[in-house]
Structure 1
């Protein structure tokens, strides 16, 4: 059979086009999932409005929204990059979706890239919505936006690695339970709503090493206090990023 018999020639599309298509699919699936929207959008927005309007927790001097907004932004990142991604990937693994995608022309690294892009797109929408709500409540942020972006990116990478590690090593049901439990525990003890100075000194020293604490404190330092580079928080997030992504790459099982 002579060359050029088939037009167009069969074969895989360029990798960039495959990643874009998969990222678009992942994003649409995420935005159409009611449970995911509850976790990633509605709960953070409700927490921001409720605790800004009602004096339930002593957030120190200044407007409550100035303390709460950075913490809720950190919570939104965790809800998407960790909790939502862990649950979705865990059930994709259980039902054989990942196994079939792994056998497709889409390389595995490209699949992870597409999932990461989907998370980033969702986070942009989350941050935009929560920022509008916070500004309407009287939030007055200041500081260098470059540090905010760097903190959000490192936080996303750290939580993505931990979420993929959980989804790739536990059963789907265990992932569902563990991811939601971690979300609730870190919501209370991660400096999101409750200031860390409310905890005993020894406990606070441990909590400061958590990725959610580093992200919320770093964002608060920049957006509330106008500080420069939050070096300590960036280092903590960088360490969690290396550990999480490294462990996910080493122990993640596709089926």
Structure 2
């Protein structure tokens, strides 16, 4: 049995170029988010407003277990806001418009392919998240936040799980609804999760039985877990389990129902 050396070399070159294509697409996607005024406001300005609001606006101690919100509470809420803004809202809107404009259908005919497109999306989210961590971390530091290296390391798995959960939801919305509905629903969900989803106000700040209902939301689980890790404690298995469950549910639904072409 003989093998054509030219064919082998061509395949190896193609394989070597694939990561570069994905990296280039990730940079393009990240640049599109960071140069769009509306997306930039959602990704950076709104999380910063949550941080400043919880730090300087008087809040009833009853909403935070009988105490005023600490810097850790504010940073955790800010982090979850940033995750939802990028992974859900920005992702859903950008992908929804790509789908309506035929980009997703066209991408399947290019060397990047659909798999490369999705990996590029994940890479873009990672780039934006890193910039969010740097920018919002610097603002938090300026306001007096002094985290330890251990607290930051403990928070990384929570951030990843939350990104997977909300990223899955964002793609599910983008791949199943019309663009107008994607734009409206992703923004409405963002506002509701921040306001009454256990982010700005923790789940235990709501009266029964709403506290139980809020506590099972991915936003509340992420906020609770990050509050624990940023306080120097390991996140509860319940919170991590909830995030993993939501990530699996949204991911499975996206794989099953995502449509690459707009109706």
Match of 2:55 among 52, 56, 59: 52
Deviation of the 1:232 alpha carbon? 1.1
How many equivalent pairs are there?
248
Contact 2:151 2:229 in 1 (8 A): yes
Q: Deviations over 1:76-98 (max 9, x none)?
A: 00100001100110011011111
Contact 2:202 2:224 in 1 (8 A): no
Deviation of the 1:127 alpha carbon? 1.3
- Quick check: 1:222 aligned with 2:225? no
Task: Please state whether the residue corresponding to 1:81 is helix, strand or coil.
Answer: helix
TM-score (norm 2): 0.88
Larger mean CA deviation between 140-149 and 94-103 belongs to: 140-149
- Aligned partners of 2:235 and 2:71: how far apart in 1? 22
- Quick check: 1:96 aligned with 2:99? no
- Aligned partners of 1:21 and 1:55: how far apart in 2? 45
Deviation of the 1:152 alpha carbon? 0.4
Name the structure 2 match of 1:116: 122
- Aligned partners of 2:60 and 2:146: how far apart in 1? 20
Larger mean CA deviation between 34-43 and 55-64 belongs to: 55-64
Contact 2:104 2:114 in 1 (8 A): no
How big is the alpha-carbon RMSD for the aligned residues of Structure 1 and Structure 2?
2.1
Q: Which runs of 5+ in 1 are unaligned?
A: none
- Quick check: 1:22 aligned with 2:55? no
Match of 1:171 among 178, 183, 188: 178
Give the 3 Å change call, closer, same or farther, for CA 41–170 of structure 1 in structure 2. same
Q: Which runs of 5+ in 2 are unaligned?
A: 1-5
- Quick check: 1:243 aligned with 2:254? no
Name the structure 2 match of 1:202: 209
Contact 1:85 1:163 in 2 (8 A): yes
Task: Please state whether the residue corresponding to 2:112 is helix, strand or coil.
Answer: coil
Deviation of the 1:50 alpha carbon? 2.6
Query: 1:132-147 to 2 correspondence within 5 Å?
Result: 132-142=138-148, 143-147=150-154
Contact 2:203 2:212 in 1 (8 A): no
Deviation of the 1:62 alpha carbon? 6.0
